[in-house]
Amino acid sequence: MKIVILDGYVANPGDLSWEGLEQLGELTVYDRTAPQDVVARAAEAEAVFVNKINLTAEVIDALPRLRFIGELATGYNNIDLAAASRRGITVCNVPAYSTASVAQTVFALLLQLKVNIGRYTAAVAAGRWVAAPDFSFTMGPIEELEGLTMGVYGLGNIGSRVAAIAHAFGMHVISPTSKAVEAIAPYVRKVTFEQMLAEADVITIHAPLTPQTRGLFGVAAFAAMKRTAVLINTARGPIVDESALADALRSGTIAGAATDVLATEPPTAACPLLAADLTGGDTPRLLITPHIAWQSVTARHRLLQVSVANLAAFLAGHPQNRVN
């Protein structure tokens, strides 16, 4: 079997091994592939692995030998599932591999918003503590998580783990989940979306990007939130209207935000969230990290293990983690 990985660098920049896939066939790995080169590079492939490469209906139909598509991620909105199904091509993803990694990043971002550790350590390194007149100095209020209400939008694997950690911090947890009350943890209170907006001190997004969630957090949502509330997004960038978020932060409609994802990645200079007045100063209103929540070594190792297992299961005639 000829196996092609079209954008392998981010999942494995060289600190892990492709050996498992090499044992299943003739493997070719490309760190990155430009859209115009996808068909040529995958022309002879029977199995193709992608992370963010778009496999449109046109691309899929141009690959006559293709039998298997492996998504090197959980989200698979970059693959035309209908086109793959028409061709009888099996598409598999890797669910839940980054649950712990993303959950800890949520709290790294939240704690930075509330405690500002990074800015304080940078200030000490810059000599500001040496020059301070007191034994302690402040760059803005430090807040406790205990007693705050966290709204979890999307109560799947990651959202449920975040809810558990929030509970351990002493936070109240609410969620507009579609799950039955009996199917969620007893410390999670089921509410409507509107109730979550009105009650939450922190809202964290863990939903997939769908036509229903695209732009869901926009002008109306921010207007309904507390002025003291903060928003965290480690899911998909387009779920948040970036212009509306920038306006909400500048106007004080909400107090702050942190995002690990943007609508366009890497962003262009025109991205409204990259403005210095939002991200700079002693107490920035916005924190941006470059889509790293999933990226721990442990999570990426798990990702490759499951990807190998997905292809092996397909070859054995019993596909796992199939999404089409």
Q: CATH number, domain at 209?
A: 3.40.50.720
Is 173 inside a domain boundary?
A: yes
- One domain, residues 130 and 89: no
Tens of pLDDT along 248-265?
Answer: 999 999 999 999 999 999
- One domain, residues 107 and 255: yes
Beta carbons within 8 Å of 99's beta carbon, 6+ residues apart: 157, 158, 161
SS3 293: coil
List the domain range (segments joined by +) for residue 73: 2-97+297-315
- At 75 the pLDDT is 86
Is 31 inside a domain boundary?
A: yes
Write down the mean pLDDT value for the chain: 96
- One domain, residues 119 and 9: no
- One domain, residues 262 and 240: yes
Strand partners, 198: none
pLDDT above 70: percentage of residues in the chain: 100
Is 184 inside a domain boundary?
A: yes
Q: Is the pLDDT of residue 283 over 90?
A: no
Q: Is the pLDDT of residue 28 over 90?
A: yes
Interhelix angle 99-115/157-168, rounded to 10 degrees, is 40
Q: Fill in the amino acid letter for 286.
A: L
- At 268 the pLDDT is 93
Q: pTM score, two decimals?
A: 0.90
- One domain, residues 23 and 148: no
- One domain, residues 284 and 303: no
Higher pLDDT pick, 229 / 77: 229
- At 26 the pLDDT is 97
- One domain, residues 203 and 231: yes
Q: Is the pLDDT of residue 231 over 90?
A: yes
Average pLDDT over residues 67-83: 95
Tens of pLDDT along 105-162?
Answer: 999 999 999 999 999 999 999 999 999 999 999 888 899 999 999 999 999 999 999 9
**Contact at 8 Å (CB) between 323 and 92?**
yes
**Contact at 8 Å (CB) between 249 and 219?**
no
- At 282 the pLDDT is 80
Of 123, 156, 157, nearest in space to 138 by CA: 123
- At 115 the pLDDT is 94
- One domain, residues 49 and 177: no
Tens of pLDDT along 155-165?
Answer: 999 999 999 99
- One domain, residues 226 and 93: no
- At 140 the pLDDT is 85
Q: Is the pLDDT of residue 77 over 90?
A: no
Which residue numbers are catalytic? 236, 265, 291
Q: Which helix (H) or strand (E) holds 92?
A: strand 90-92
Compute how many other C-beta atoms are within 10 angstroms of the C-beta atom of residue 129: 14
- One domain, residues 70 and 124: no
Compute how many other C-beta atoms are within 10 angstroms of the C-beta atom of residue 8: 24
